[in-house]
Amino acid sequence: MTNDKALSSVVTVKWLLENLNTEHVVTVDASWFMPGSGRDPKAEWQEQRIPGAVFFDFDQEICDKQSHLPHMLPDEAQFSRQVSALGISNHHHVVVYDSQGLFSAPRVWWMFKAMGHDAVAVLDGGLPAWIQSEGPLDTGQPKSRDSGQYQATFQSEWVTDASSLMGHLEDPQIVVLDARPAARFYGQQPEPREGIRSGHMPNAKSLPFGQLVKNNQLLSPQLLKQRFDAISDEEQQLIFSCGSGVTACILALAADVAGRKKLTVYDGSWTEWGAGMKYPVVS
């Protein structure tokens, strides 16, 4: 592996096919489905997966279990312990994929970034692209990996909370980008979670994640740059929000590929902001 490839935030199926069996590469299945889908991502991983892939459960396991909000980022001690248990160490190049193509994998990419791990990438097109390219698959009972030695180093610039964001809504150097569908952003469609208000934060801008993805793959870096240049300046900090902090990370990944540097995810996202009457909402 060359250094530029190792530090790229997105890798192709071709790249992974060439590097899958190198000792420093670890593949991670980060599949997750919306509540009510009837699908079990861990069971699907057990049935078929990219060879050697471990399952990263950011919804039920590698998350802050004390929070009332879904799949919030855990602290660095918990992250270190659970990532080590997956057989991952600091020297590994982590390649994350999901079974939908490009949906939940960026969440785990962002989690590793927030914990100080630069050598992490998303497989563009995910498992569908891998299968389409006739990449090999493991089936049946997964083999356990030996424990790794992972020590996270929390990078606070990658994450923000509601109280901090509240104080920056008028800051001209910050742009809040909302990944939810436009109809939800403008309050024309109810939120899927009960008790959550419709609308958006004051001064936020709508950037539905689907505008950055085509055929389950990110748009080209050039097109992504055009998308972000149209709604923000290069020196502005971008803060990404969505329904519960998953698709916001698609925006973060896309912005990273587009060359943007000041990237932050609002982890509580609309599930926190739209609940109750504490935070201002417009539509």
pLDDT at residue 37, rounded to an integer:
86
235-262 pLDDT tens trace:
999 999 999 999 999 999 999 999 999 9
Reported as a pLDDT band with limits 50, 70 and 90, residue 170 is very high
pLDDT at residue 149, rounded to an integer:
98
Q: Which of 210, 209, 255, 211 is nearest to 236 (CA)?
A: 255
267-276 pLDDT tens trace:
999 999 999 8
pLDDT at residue 2, rounded to an integer:
33
Catalytic annotation present for 242: yes
Answer for the pair 126, 102: CB distance below 8 angstroms, yes or no: yes
Bridge partners for 29 per DSSP: 55, 97
117-126 pLDDT tens trace:
999 999 999 9
Contacts of 270 (CB under 8 A, 6+ apart): 178, 180, 191, 196, 241, 242, 243, 244
pLDDT at residue 1, rounded to an integer:
32
Report how far residue 174's alpha carbon sits from residue 88's, in angstroms, rounded to the nearest whole number: 35
pLDDT at 283 over 70: yes
**How confident is the prediction for the chain on average, in pLDDT?**
95
28-59 pLDDT tens trace:
999 999 888 889 999 999 999 999 999 999 99
The residue-averaged pLDDT of 164-185 equals 96
Q: Which of 26, 226, 39 is nearest to 108 (CA)?
A: 26
Contacts of 196 (CB under 8 A, 6+ apart): 270, 271, 274, 275
Reported as a pLDDT band with limits 50, 70 and 90, residue 7 is low
- Token readout for 139 is 């089936």
Active-site residue, from 10, 242, 253, 265: 242
Q: Which of 273, 203, 269 is nearest to 232 (CA)?
A: 203
Q: Which of 112, 107, 200, 93 is nearest to 154 (CA)?
A: 112
pLDDT at residue 5, rounded to an integer:
43
79-119 pLDDT tens trace:
999 999 999 999 999 999 999 999 999 999 999 999 999 99
Answer for the pair 243, 269: CB distance below 8 angstroms, yes or no: yes
pLDDT at residue 35, rounded to an integer:
83
Query: By mean pLDDT, which of 11-15, 141-145, 165-169, 240-244 is the weakest?
Result: 141-145
